[in-house]
Amino acid sequence: MSIFRYKHLKHLRLDQGKIERAKRILKAKTETETMDKALEKIIQEEKERLRRRSLMKRITQLRRSLGKLREDSSEWVRLARKERSLSV
């Protein structure tokens, strides 16, 4: 759990059933801890999404810089079929 830097009293209208369910899922002891863990999880998921997006962008740039690669798909298919028939 993250350390609270600033504590502000907030009044929110929330579905109690959702709070209880989140509390069980997150294994939190209090509703405040539940909200903190839920918010932290959302923030971490967004960081991960942005990291993956950046990685995919770099992969795409690398692929473009390499140009179009020629490959003989028919040869690959023949080899795969031969390998499969040998394993049977």
Q: Is residue 2 part of a domain?
A: no
Q: Is residue 69 part of a domain?
A: yes
Alpha carbon distance 20, 54 (integer Å): 36
Q: Is residue 22 part of a domain?
A: yes
Q: Is residue 73 part of a domain?
A: yes
Alpha carbon distance 31, 38 (integer Å): 10
For position 52, what pLDDT does the model report? Answer: 95
Q: Is residue 20 part of a domain?
A: yes
How far out from the chain centre does Cα 32 lie? 25
pTM over 0.85: no
Which tokens in the block code for residue 74? 């028919």
E-state strands within the chain? none
Q: Is residue 39 part of a domain?
A: yes
Q: Is residue 4 part of a domain?
A: no
Per-residue tens of pLDDT for the chain, all 88 residues = 455 566 788 888 999 999 999 999 999 999 999 999 999 999 999 999 999 999 999 998 988 887 766 666 677 788 888 888 877 6
Instruction: Provide the domain count of the chain.
Output: 1
Name every residue whose Cβ is closer than 8 Å to that of residue 35 and which is 6 or more positions away in sequence. Answer: 19
**Residue numbers of the domain that contains 83:** 16-87
For position 67, what pLDDT does the model report? Answer: 72
Q: Is residue 32 part of a domain?
A: yes
Alpha carbon distance 77, 81 (integer Å): 6
